[in-house]
Amino acid sequence: MIVRRALSDLQSIQRTNPEFKLAVNIPIDLLLDVTFRTWLLDLVGRSDITPYSFGVELTEDAKMSDSDAVSTVFAEMKALGIVVLMDDFSMGHTSITLLQKNYFDYIKIDGSLIRDLKNERSRSIVESVIRLGHELGFAVISECVETKEQHDMLLSMGCFEY
């Protein structure tokens, strides 16, 4: 499975670069499954990785509105030092509501907005998301940074991770 491979690779890389971080996409359905979640938490717990260097990226999903079950999932992951990232922020229908819950450590701005940073509206949206993320205490990551111009624009807006 991809998670086992990712953790193995992360362990290897961290032997020479202890600051290296890695995240994998996992559907919320899997995380809500107790058997899978137990397996994941056990695997991470037995891994020799730097705390908070392994993350789980979740794409927004209506199932995340079940706050009791989802709160349990995120509390268990955070207790083990697993970083939680909201992937493709701004592309789903639950983004703002989920930010109220404080489930995430990072919000990750969808690449479609970054690819179009020359567009004033896209730039304004990205800048607003970065500001909102910081005001709520989240780190903000940007996808699809492919040019120096995008890099420089994001830096000037306060987004320092890609």
User: What is the average pLDDT across 7-32?
Assistant: 94
pLDDT of residue 61: 65
| pLDDT exceeds 90 at position 89 | no
User: What is the average pLDDT across 133-158?
Assistant: 93
Q: Measure the CA angle with vertex 159, ends 153 and 162; round to 5°.
A: 95
Q: Sorting pLDDT into bands at 50, 70 and 90, what band is 98? A: confident
| pLDDT exceeds 70 at position 92 | no
In this structure, what are the phi and psi dihedrals at residue 93, rounded to the nearest 5 degrees?
-100, 0
pLDDT of residue 1: 76
Return the residue matching tokens 């567009």.
Answer: 119
pLDDT of residue 76: 93
- For the chain, the average pLDDT equals 88
pLDDT of residue 95: 61
Of the CA atoms within 13 Å of residue 47, those in its CB half-sphere come to: 28
Chain-centroid distance, C-alpha 43: 19
**What pLDDT digit, counting tens, does each position of 28-75 carry?**
889 999 999 999 999 999 999 998 999 999 876 666 766 688 888 989
Q: Sorting pLDDT into bands at 50, 70 and 90, what band is 12? A: very high
132 vs 60 pLDDT, higher one: 132
7 vs 92 pLDDT, higher one: 7
Q: Measure the CA angle with vertex 54, ends 146 and 59; round to 5°.
A: 65
**What pLDDT digit, counting tens, does each position of 64-77 carry?**
766 688 888 989 99
